Amino acid sequence: MLNGEDPPERPDYIVNIINGLERYNPEAVVNLEAYLQEQCEQKYCDCNANRTLLKLYQLNPDRMKDEVVTNILVKAMTQFPSPQFSLALHLINPSTIAQGELHEAVTKLRTLNIQLEGSEYARFWNTIDGDDLCADLIADISGFEDLIRANIANLVAQAFREVSLSQLESWLGLDSDAAAKFVTEVAGWTVGDNGVVTIPKNAENEAKKSEIREDVNIDMFSRVIRRSWEETV
């Protein structure tokens, strides 16, 4: 996964805001919002900068924009599995999302994130496909579905050496042809004639023999023998 906490794409003027007194300046909101828009148009995420923007919204609630808040949450979601979504969510004043359209949007995004974190991938894609609000919420985030699929594939590669293509279709939210294309061209896996996908061996999915060793010295052994002898006398 790409570095979503401190990405290399971060410009110097954002570094100065995050690390200096500018992070308390309400006027920095404009630059941070523009930077978020840049992230949304491209496939990188700067969660650190986005949290700085949410903190400024806390201090200056009159400057808060609902669409910016939801875009931050959607970008944070692309970093799963990680705590980024929860970290961003806890910086939003509860009173601002207690009711209204923002409440509905945040509730929906929280549901989607729970599904991802719980590995309920098929349910996640069903929610995305069957909900107009979800479609609106992710519309501003370029490559959202691609990023989510890449993260799912990474998790699958950590757990499996082989998995059926039909199962991957469900997890990736793709039809058979699209799933096969993703598996071979994006993930670099192999699809067999029997519909089984082979995943290259890596440090996480390689079966390892577990060896348990316990050193027992002479004194410990003699105590066990003596106790056993005393119990039989």
Which domains are delineated in the chain? Answer: 12-159 (1.25.40.250), 161-233 (no CATH)
**pLDDT tens digits, residue range 144-175?**
999 999 999 999 999 999 999 999 999 999 99
Written as six digits, the tokens of 179 are 């799933």
Q: Is the separation of the CB atoms in 103 and 66 below 8 Å? A: no
Q: How far apart are CA 22 and CA 185, in angstroms?
A: 44
> What's the whole-number mean pLDDT along residues 109-133?
95
Task: List pLDDT tens digits, range 27-59.
Answer: 999 999 999 999 999 989 999 999 999 999 999
The pLDDT assigned to 225 comes to 65
Q: What is the pLDDT of residue 194?
A: 92
Asked whether the beta carbons of 86 and 54 are under 8 A apart, the reply is: no
Q: Maximum Cα–Cα distance for the chain, whole Å?
A: 87
Residues listed for the chain? 233
Apex 73 CA angle, 68 and 79, nearest 5: 135
Beta bridge partners of 119: none
Which residues have a Cβ under 8 Å from the Cβ of 179 and sit 6 or more positions away?
165, 168, 169, 172
Decide: residue 18, CB within 10 A, 0-12 exposed, 13-18 middle, 19+ buried: middle
Task: Label residue 123 by pLDDT band (50, 70, 90).
Answer: very high
**Distance between CA 202 and CA 206 in Å, rounded?**
6
The model's pLDDT over 208-222, given as tens digits with 9 standing for 90+, comes to 666 666 665 666 656
Question: What was the pLDDT predicted at 202?
Answer: 86
Task: Return the pLDDT at 216.
Answer: 59
